[in-house]
Amino acid sequence: MLSEIIDVSLLFVTLRVASPIMLAAIGGMYSDLAGAVNIGLEGLMLISAFFAVVVSALSGSAWLGLLAGVTASLLLALLLAFFSLNLKSDIIIAGFALTILAQGLSIFLLSNWFGDKGTFFSPDIKPLPELFIPFLGKIPVVGAILDGQNILVYAGLVFVILSHYVIYKTPFGLHLRSVGENPEAAASVGINVRRVQYIALLISGLFAGLAGANLSLGYLTIFVRNMTAGRGFIALAAVLFGGRKPFGVMLAALLFGFADSLGNRLQSLNMPSQLVLMLPYAFTIVAMVILAVRKQKKKLRVYEEHS
């Protein structure tokens, strides 16, 4: 039975399902490192998914749809940055408000533009292209998992490597980590704290936009109300579980993606639907418990070393 559940095709789907979570988590990692946690990733993904599908259907271009989704996400991220950094609103409350705004706005526009409050589908929607790389497809197992994914799946893997370089090898990465760890000390050496946090929040908006567009143009090619289904919050959990490090975040996203795809596989084997639906969230809760225990042990070890 285990061999029927876990195979190469499941791993292929895992990577595809994990990609939106991974992209959003990369963006969330930047804002988290800067000390400006973006709780609104869920809303940013949702508004991006909506505009990506609509513009793709109206223009007949997946690339214009992707651009529209990312732009919508960036605008909301800019709004979040303005309220939290300029007007000094609580960034957690502002992030939740942004998510509620995105949920309501997408339903409102869906109803007014297309007369449907639940779903938007059109044969004119152009999906993101899938890439088939000749030499990659010939590699046993790895080729079957990686070859034929949509372009944003590959982009997500590249962004993980680039993010590692940016965060640990560039002046901006040093400023980013300095601002997150001690903004007063960073300001005392001439770092513009607000500017760094603005950039970090906009980066999180960029990646959340890519994640939302990936969900609606690369994964499903349809828009359904609240289709993100908590993936933005799971991305935040991946940031914490991955230790706010690019490769750790990637592995955490793959873990959550595996839970999601495993749930879908179990559903095909007539497992109880309640068990299937709770799997991704159960994995998230378990991961956060493990993270809390790990942090507690670390604090205890530090205390013992200094006592």
Token pair for residue 262? Answer: 């495993």
State residue 41's pLDDT score. 95
Tokens of 171: 């002046």
Q: Are 83 and 263 in contact (CB under 8 A)?
A: no
Confidence at residue 298, expressed as pLDDT on a 0 to 100 scale: 74
Each residue's pLDDT, cut to its tens digit, for the chain (307 residues) gives 555 566 778 888 888 989 999 999 999 999 999 999 999 999 999 999 999 999 999 999 999 999 999 999 999 999 999 999 999 999 999 999 999 999 999 999 988 888 887 888 888 899 998 888 888 777 887 888 888 888 999 999 999 999 999 999 999 999 999 999 999 999 999 999 999 999 999 999 999 999 999 999 987 888 988 899 889 999 998 998 888 999 999 998 998 888 877 777 776 666 665 666 666 667 777 777 777 777 777 777 766 766 6
For residue 33, the model assigns a pLDDT of: 95
